Copies of this chain bind each other. A is one copy, B any other.
Amino acid sequence: MGPRYQLVSDALKQAIESGQIQPGRSIPAERQLAEDFGVSRVTVRRAVDDLVDEGLLLRRQGSGTFVRARVEKQFAKLSSFTEDMIARGRTPSSKWISRSTGTVTPSEALSLGLSPGSDVLRFVRARYADGESMALERSTIASFALPDIEQVGDSLYVALEASGHRPVRALQKLRAVLFDKATADLLGVHVGMPGLLIERRGFLADGRAVEMTESWYRGDSYDFVAELVEG
């Protein structure tokens, strides 16, 4: 049995998502919820805090707490290609092009915060959605994060999760490029087609970098969506 605020926020969430409380309408007052659920008002606030953070609710002092007119789902989530495609209703697949072990290059060492000479694993693969080529990915993983290269199946993130080193935060940099011949050939597209180059570094909760990935996405078939918040 989890904490009580979790029970309260789950119940509220369910009431909102099932449409029992319509967007724009207010949820019961905090004191009322405390009584209804038999918890203190502090616990209710903690539960409501979570839903406000999620963007599901909006507080107005003196007025009430309202179900937010849904803008969009969460887009700034850290998800893998596999999860991303499934969320879009497409069927993802991958083809390994190479997997190898090696020693960090100077730029990888800098990027991953590893000492020179550290071991890394390298993965190159093509990504498909519904059988159509979508992207080429080159990943470098610090070896401490993946004890055995053989245990990596289709999803790198699943393997990282299994070893307890799935990144919880990532920094992405993205720019428009033209595909060069080598990359275009691997994806079966024309040279000179516009593409997105995404450079990503993934970090553990303790701040260590574990993953560095360069992805070349086809510009004609991939949209990148992000939700931004005031800073």
Q: Which residues of chain B have C-beta atoms less than 8 A from A176's C-beta?
A: 176-177, 194-196, 217, 219-220
How many whole Å from A194's CB to the nearest CB in chain B? 4
How many whole Å from A109's CB to the nearest CB in chain B? 16
Most B-side CB within 10 Å, residue of A68, A223, A228:
A228
Q: How far is the CA of A205 from the CA of B69 in the complex (A)?
A: 11
Whether A194 pairs with B178 at a CB distance below 8 angstroms is: yes
Among B77, B172, B229, the residue within 8 A (CB) of A225 is B172
Q: How far is the CA of A212 from the CA of B207 in the complex (A)?
A: 36
| A interface residues, tally (CB under 8 Å) | 45
Q: Which residues of chain B have C-beta atoms less than 8 A from A178's C-beta?
A: 194
Sample of 24 A–B contacts (CB below 8 Å): A42-B42, A58-B207, A69-B206, A69-B207, A71-B171, A71-B207, A76-B229, A77-B229, A78-B229, A169-B229, A171-B225, A171-B227, A172-B225, A173-B223, A174-B224, A174-B225, A175-B219, A176-B176, A176-B177, A176-B196, A177-B219, A192-B192, A194-B194, A194-B219
